[in-house]
Structure 1
Amino acid sequence: MPNEVAHPPRISDLQLRIAQAQTQAKMDLLERAKESLTSQLTTIFDGIGRNEQVELIYPNGEVVLITKARPRRGEGGE
């Protein structure tokens, strides 16, 4: 009985598949980051719109409080 061995894929085909997989992985990562950032911005704007105080927490632990600003005198509103 003869041994059956399939011809190996071309290096160029493997390189193309690797490049496609890397591109897809980057797109997936960017899509998840976009969804997270959109959610965070929505939380910030919705909180401020409800006159709530929003805390921004930086990686170093610093906290910045964000609140709706009062209109300045002589500047009719928003």
Structure 2
Amino acid sequence: MANEVSHPPRISDLQLRIAQAQTQAKMDLLERANETLTNQLTTIFDGIGRNEQVELIYPSGEVVLITKARPRRAGEGGE
């Protein structure tokens, strides 16, 4: 009985498969990052809309509090 040996894949075929896998991995990563950022923005806007204080926490550990501002009157600055 003869041994069966398949022809090895071409290097160009392997390179194409690698490039496709890299592109898919990047897309998956970007989709997850987009979903996370969308959820974070929704949390911020919803909290402010409910007149709640929202904390933004920076990588350095600094915390910035965000609250809904009262409308400014003419002459108060910030126009």
Q: Which TM bucket (shorter chain)?
A: over 0.9
Runs of 4+ more than 4 Å apart: 74-78
For 1:65 and 1:33, the matched residues in 2 are separated by 23
For 1:60 and 1:16, the matched residues in 2 are separated by 41
Q: Per-residue CA shift, 1:36-66, capped at 9, x if unaligned?
A: 0000000000000000000000011000000
Do 1:54 and 1:66's aligned partners in 2 also have CA atoms closer than 8 Å?
yes
Deviation at 1:75, TM superposition (A): 8.5
For structure 1, the 5+ residue unaligned runs are: none
TM-score, with length taken from structure 2: 0.91
Deviation at 1:2, TM superposition (A): 1.2
When residues 53 and 38 of structure 1 are mapped into structure 2, their CA distance, relative to the original with a 3 A threshold, is same
When residues 61 and 76 of structure 1 are mapped into structure 2, their CA distance, relative to the original with a 3 A threshold, is closer
For 1:18 and 1:76, the matched residues in 2 are separated by 57
Q: How many residues are aligned here?
A: 78
Deviation at 1:76, TM superposition (A): 13
Secondary structure at 2:65's aligned position in 1? strand
Deviation at 1:3, TM superposition (A): 1.2
For structure 2, the 5+ residue unaligned runs are: none
Identity of aligned residues (%): 92
TM-score, with length taken from structure 1: 0.92
For 1:44 and 1:3, the matched residues in 2 are separated by 65
Q: Per-residue CA shift, 1:11-46, capped at 9, x if unaligned?
A: 000000000000000000000000000000000000
